[in-house]
């Protein structure tokens, strides 16, 4: 399907539950458990070299439907010193949407890597000063040319990009409510995404990454709390902003997947190989931030 303007059916999937902490902490937080939440991620993809005999999961000419069916949701925040000159830490947040709570080495996992929570929070808040945006106005960077495009990484136009979202149906609240920030994804952007299929394709050594796509946050901790207030009246985001444990992460997304080996070849000025993974995924996630098990660095 095609992703249409906000007044149409935006690409999304269904999810409305929340997440919490472990058994002891759950007693103080209403009974939630580590990794709980809701979400979806599915679409048409291909993944070559999938099984012991090399049988692919779909091909570039005949994509196969993939449904992550996630049941485990977690976040890994990392606080870095940042720029000492401006006393601004760089708070990184990796979001994991997993098939289940097993180790990531034997799991299907969708990763979203927020490389700067402060900048993402400013984008989500959408504050203006005398009508001028106070968020970073940079453009996205092309994966293939490594040059700036004409697309802002933080887009408040209210028009979702026309990306192939596979077989994703619009969720019940897609396109509802006020206009929100559209955060464009890419290999060089403030937010990256990646897909690891260590369960579905446990013999493969392929890493998929989002060459294109977007996230649309309804909740990014407290950053989205003023969406119904006129933009010039919204509070500025503090420089030490981070999503705290227990705060909500809720978003819709569409990813256009590519082969990480292509990105590496471009950076090393080598011949570009044929892609071993591709296609698109669409869906959503909704959970309260809690540090999960089986953490690993972003692929």
Burial 181-215 (b: 16+ CB within 10 A, else e): bbbbbbbebbbbbbbbbbbbbeebebbbbbbbbbb
At residue 89, the pLDDT reads 62
Residue 45, strand partner residues: 64, 279
Instruction: Kindly tell me the burial class for residue 223, based on how many C-beta atoms sit within 10 Å of its own C-beta (0-12, 13-18, 19 or more).
Output: buried
Q: Taking the CA atoms of the chain, what radius of gyration do you get in angstroms? A: 19
**Residues 3 and 10 sit within 8 Å (Cβ to Cβ):** yes
Model pTM score: 0.81
Query: Which string of b and e fits 128-144 if b means at least 16 CB within 10 Å?
Result: beeeebebeeeebbbbe
Say if residues 165 and 1 touch (Cβ distance below 8 Å): yes
* Tokens standing for residue 179: 């206009």
Question: Contact, 136 vs 119, CB < 8 A?
Answer: yes
Contact 13, 168 (CB under 8 A): yes
Give the bridge partners for 214, in sequence order.
184, 254
pLDDT value at residue 291: 65
DSSP 180-208: --EEE--TTSSEEEEEEETTTTTT----E
Ramachandran assignment for 194, one of left (phi > 0), alpha (psi -120 to 50 degrees), beta (any other):
beta
38-47 and 132-133 beta bridge pairing: unpaired
Q: Which of 290, 289, 128 is nearest to 219 (CA)?
A: 289
Among residues 44, 41, 47, which one has the least CA distance to residue 97?
A: 41
**For the segment 47-101, what is each residue's pLDDT rounded down to a tens digit?**
988 876 778 889 999 999 999 999 999 998 887 665 544 455 678 999 999 999 9
Cα distance between residue 258 and residue 45, in whole Å: 10
Cα 249 from Cα 118, distance rounded (Å): 15
Distance of alpha carbon 257 from alpha carbon 209, whole angstroms? 5
Q: Chunked in runs of 10, what are the mean pLDDT values of the chain (299 residues)?
A: 38 34 33 78 91 82 96 88 55 94 92 96 96 94 91 91 55 58 95 93 81 95 90 95 94 95 91 93 94 48
Dihedral sign, Cα of residue 93, residue 94, residue 98, residue 100: negative
CB atoms within 10 A of CB 59: 12
Tell the burial category of 118 from Cβ atoms under 10 Å away from its Cβ (0-12, 13-18, 19+). Answer: buried
Residue 16 confidence (pLDDT)? 28
Given this model, what pLDDT does residue 176 score?
Answer: 53
β 108-114/64-67 pair status: unpaired
């Amino acid at each position: 399907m095609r992703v249409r303007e906000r007044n149409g059916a935006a690409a999304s999937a269904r999810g409305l539950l929340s997440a919490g902490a472990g058994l002891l902490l759950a007693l103080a937080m209403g009974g939630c458990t580590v990794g709980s939440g809701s979400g979806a991620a599915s679409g048409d993809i291909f993944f070559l070299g999938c099984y012991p005999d090399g049988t692919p999961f779909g091909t570039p000419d005949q994509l196969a439907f993939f449904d992550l069916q996630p049941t485990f949701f977690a976040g890994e925040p990392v606080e870095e010193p940042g720029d000492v000159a401006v006393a601004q830490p760089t708070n990184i947040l990796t979001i994991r949407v997993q098939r289940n709570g097993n180790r990531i080495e034997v799991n299907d996992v969708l990763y979203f890597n927020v490389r700067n929570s402060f900048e993402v929070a400013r984008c989500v808040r959408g504050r203006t000063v005398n009508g001028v945006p106070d968020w970073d106005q940079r453009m996205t960077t092309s994966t293939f040319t490594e040059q700036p495009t004409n697309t802002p990484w933080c887009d408040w136009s209210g028009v979702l990009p026309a990306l192939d979202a596979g077989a994703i149906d619009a969720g019940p609240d897609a396109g509802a409510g006020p206009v929100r920030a559209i955060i464009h994804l890419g290999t060089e952007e403030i937010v990256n995404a990646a897909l690891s299929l260590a369960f579905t394709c446990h013999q493969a050594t392929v890493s998929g990454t989002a060459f294109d796509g977007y996230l649309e946050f309804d909740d990014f901790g407290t950053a989205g709390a003023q969406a119904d207030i006129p933009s010039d009246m919204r509070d500025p985001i503090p420089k030490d902003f981070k999503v705290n444990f227990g705060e909500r992460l809720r978003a819709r997304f569409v990813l256009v997947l590519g082969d990480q080996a292509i990105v590496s070849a471009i950076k090393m000025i080598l011949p570009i190989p044929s892609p071993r993974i591709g296609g698109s995924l669409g869906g959503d996630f909704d959970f309260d931030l809690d540090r999960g098990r089986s953490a690993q660095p972003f692929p």
